[in-house]
Amino acid sequence: MRLYLSLFLAGILCVCQLACSNSESQDSKSKNAPGTPERPNILVVYLDDLGYGDVSAYGQNTLPTPNIDALAKGGIRFTNGYATSATCTPSRYGLLTGIYPWRNEKARILPGDAPLLIDTTIVTLPKMLKQAGYRTAVVGKWHLGIGDGNVDWNEELHGNPNDVGFDYSYIMAATTDRTPTVYIENRRVVGLTADDPIQVSYKENFPGEPTAISNPELMTKQKWHHGHNQSVHNGIPRIGYQKGGKSALWHDEDMADVFLNQAKAFIDDNNPEKTGEPFFLYYALQQPHVPRVPHPRFVGKSGMGPRGDAIVEADWCLGEIMKKLEADGLAENTLVLFSSDNGPVLNDGYYDDAVEKIGDHQAAGPLRGGKYSLFEAGTKVPFIAYWKGRIEPQVSDALVCQVDFVGSLAELVGQKNPSADSQNTLAAFLGESKKGRDELVLEATGRLAFRQGNYILIPAYKGNALSKQVNIETGIAPEAHLFDITKDPGQRENIAKAQPEKLSEMKNAMQKAVGVQFKVNTEELELK
């Protein structure tokens, strides 16, 4: 009897130990021990000119964004999340390199035929992740240059995303309002035929080719307001000249579907269940950048004209990519980072009713300024981190920035941080800490602002206080501006004169952060 009892108790003990072992194994799969590298799939969803107030999760109910809201509800909605710049090329440079864009004097809004901006010798975000065993891709807007400045678009393209760490790329070279209006897959323009080569120029038009000026009747879908009056394609005038390549030209209305399908195809081809390796996908949507030409099934859905409809379309795209992750069983092992390259702009060069149909909607929310601006709305953007089952839903006031993706994700996957500018704020991105950065240098149109703690300093600059074409306050003024944004998020009260000691402290801190001679009362910083 004692023998049977002993065997019975031993069996119970064995079962308990096995159950504990299985439980610990499951726990280790869902969350590694502290300090242990993790290798989730990483999806960066990056919108173009989406404002802080354009996402209804950020406090407005004027524009429906249910899929973005669901991401925010299930993850971390950051209230102090920043791009590095108030314009697109510099922000994308900062995200992918982990380097402040103002350190590179060429990091400005690039024409469509600009040379590659990123030095191919540096360790970029995709390169770092490749070192950790990731398969990498970019789908969507690139706008960081291609080649050496003398590109033959009909030949194999070098100096492109494949040369800075991406295994696969399916992109537009620049923006939807710039030539060339074609898709590029890896090193080739998609759909070109030998008998109709494409030519692109930003210097002069090709003889006999129509433009928006010479042939205004070609503008059947949108008309230019400022700056977009050169080659016309698909009834829309663009920046830059273009000839030929008819079989390769995109159809704006289909662009969201084209990029979405390519993103899904990459996930299919690189599902870790098949490859044994995680993937990194940089999914860079074109919405709501001009020209805003959503698919007909989204037209009229927002009640705000093409800009609102384009945001509704982008929200749908996010919903579809999240459905894909769920359907393929990848949601619980994918870190999703959602943000925008800069703040909002309404009239950015086309007559598209963005101003006339805005209604009560405030694209920047409570913030001042917008795209191109040193004020908060230029760089403070929607910023969400989501990882099903790993990140606890919350709202975080931590100061976070896209420039820190490199350093933070390096920590996540057990790699060395290659950039001195990119800080490790992984704990904030995972919701394990409410502390992010202590300070941040921000850029807009070649000028800098500085945030430290609750304060923002905009130094004195020469220039116009208002960009009249886009009707956005620039933040430029002949005297320094200091704001406590916890008390004054709309930056309406300049406290520089009321708090001279704090002003001096912020100037000194900014000078130290920038690391070069800093002129506080002249037109610009001396960046050398």
- Which residues lie below 8 Å from residue 181, measured CB to CB, with a gap of 6+? 172, 233, 234, 238, 242, 249, 250
CA 290/CA 359 separation, integer angstroms: 19
For residue 35, the model assigns a pLDDT of 56
- Phi, psi at 253, each rounded to 5°: -60, -25
CA 121/CA 16 separation, integer angstroms: 54
Q: What is this structure's pTM?
A: 0.92
- Encoded amino acid at 446, one letter: G
Helix axes 306-327 and 255-269, enclosed angle (nearest 10): 20
pLDDT > 50? residue 296: yes
Is residue 414 within 8 Å of residue 37, measured between CB atoms?
Answer: yes
In sequence order, the β-bridge partners of residue 451 are: 440, 456
| Per-residue model confidence as pLDDT tens digits over 177-236 | 999 999 999 999 999 999 999 999 999 999 999 999 999 999 999 999 999 999 999 999
Distances (CA, A) of 210 to 197, 238, 500: 17, 12, 58
Distances (CA, A) of 327 to 71, 272, 287, 318: 16, 14, 25, 14
Q: Report the range of poorest mean pLDDT among 375-389, 424-438, 507-521.
A: 507-521
Quick one: pLDDT band at residue 515, thresholds 50, 70, 90?
A: confident
- Encoded amino acid at 245, one letter: G
CA 357/CA 163 separation, integer angstroms: 43
Q: Please give the average per-residue pLDDT across 463-482, as a whole number.
A: 97
Residue 199, sorted as left (phi over 0), alpha (psi -120 to 50) or beta, turns out to be beta
- Which residues lie below 8 Å from residue 167, measured CB to CB, with a gap of 6+? 130, 135, 136, 137
Smallest CA-to-CA distance from 398 within 366, 359, 378, 424 is with 424
Q: Is 498 exposed, middle or buried (0-12, 13-18, 19+ CB in 10 A)?
A: exposed
DSSP 109: P
Quick count: other Cβ atoms within 10 Å of Cβ 390?
Answer: 18
CA 371/CA 379 separation, integer angstroms: 8
DSSP 247: G
Three-state DSSP state, 456: strand
Three-state DSSP state, 11: helix
| Per-residue model confidence as pLDDT tens digits over 102-116 | 999 999 999 999 999
- Which residues lie below 8 Å from residue 445, measured CB to CB, with a gap of 6+? 86, 87, 372, 474
CA 51/CA 367 separation, integer angstroms: 10
For residue 470, the model assigns a pLDDT of 97
In sequence order, the β-bridge partners of residue 326 are: none
Quick count: other Cβ atoms within 10 Å of Cβ 336?
Answer: 26
192 is written with which tokens? 């070109």
| Per-residue model confidence as pLDDT tens digits over 122-163 | 999 999 999 999 999 999 999 999 999 899 999 999 999 999
